[in-house]
Amino acid sequence: MMHFENNLIQGVVVALVTPFNAEGQLDERAWEAIIDWHLSAGTHGLVVGGTTGESASLTRSERDRMLSMAVERCAGKIPVLAGTGSASTAQTIEDSQRAAELGADAVLVVTPYYNRPPQAGLLAHYRAVADASPAPVMLYNVPSRTACDLSAETSIALCQHDNILGIKEAFADLERIQSLVTARVLVLSGDDPTALDALRHGAQGVISVIANIVPGAMVQLFEFAQAGNYEQAEQLQRELKPLLDFLSIQTNPIPAKWLLAEMGMMNHAIRLPLVGLDAQHVAAGKTLLDRLQSQGLIEKPQQNQQATPTI
């Protein structure tokens, strides 16, 4: 079991969006710029091809290319996690083995969606993946998307496996977080609005959507929490609340990708069945960006440029 003293992954791990060009293809130039931005901002790790990255809409060759580029770009400076979970255990094993071949430091494996397996099925699923994967496994529980809840008891049992690192827990239940931490399970919050509370309760970090927009601010929030400086952490969280609210106005990653496009980091393209930000939210989004800029949380948005903002 991976204990706190020697864990591999902690801090602010960004659940990266996937940039597409105007033709709907992977924008490799923007992808490199985004990774470089996170390296310079001090982000502690990257998730490639997760939910925020529109994983369900990516081809296998796109996932492979993105992961290979991220591994090469990071060059061991920070860990790179590959999203490899699926509804099929056999497919998850195959994808996890492929990710390991491409250099992923760990694989992020969401609970099998649509099947709605019982807890016994989840135990068997994750143990089979962990047995077969050359890369360490991070459990991922997000019932709002999968219609399947990985219970704390099941997570604790699974984390006795030598090849299971811990869990990304996106179910915002602080009692559950506390029970996992008490059992010495490595917990990364998967819910930005409650991440600071999770850190208070012993979580070791957050796999974050908001870090796509304000990586430096999220790193600072984590550092405040690590130092027990909760007054400053809470103040920063209050400053970030309008952004948190905006990111939830439509399905993730629609708002996040719109903001990044307005900041000049990527094209506005998003892949069906998702669509772009509803026009009714555009004015509020522009006002939000101006506010974040004035607070020094992001630099002034640069339209239609794939520049690297300074945080």
Q: In the chain, what are the domain boundaries?
A: 4-229
* Residues 6+ positions from 6 with CB-CB distance below 8 Å: none
CB atoms within 10 A of CB 57: 14
> 241 pLDDT exceeds 90?
yes
CATH class of 4-229: alpha beta
> 1 pLDDT exceeds 60?
no
> 38 pLDDT exceeds 70?
yes
Alpha-carbon distances of 128 from 96, 125, 252, rounded to whole Å: 11, 5, 30
Alpha-carbon distances of 270 from 19, 54, 57, 277, rounded to whole Å: 8, 9, 10, 10
Task: Tell me the per-residue pLDDT of 111-146, one tens digit each, with 9 for 90 and over.
Answer: 999 999 999 999 999 999 999 999 999 999 999 999
Give the pLDDT score at 299.
66
> 309 pLDDT exceeds 50?
no
Collapse the DSSP code of 137 into the 3-class scheme (helix H, G, I; strand E, B; otherwise coil) and give the result: strand
| pLDDT bucket at 307, cuts 50 / 70 / 90 | very low
Percent share of the chain, pLDDT over 90: 93
List residues with catalytic annotation.
Answer: 140, 168
pTM: 0.93
CB atoms within 10 A of CB 22: 9
What average pLDDT does this structure show over 12-38? 97
Q: Select from 243, 269, 249, 242 the least CA-distant residue to 257.
A: 269
- Residue 282 CA to residue 227 CA, distance in Å, equals 37
- What letter represents residue 151's amino acid? S
Give the pLDDT score at 7.
54
Give the pLDDT score at 261.
97
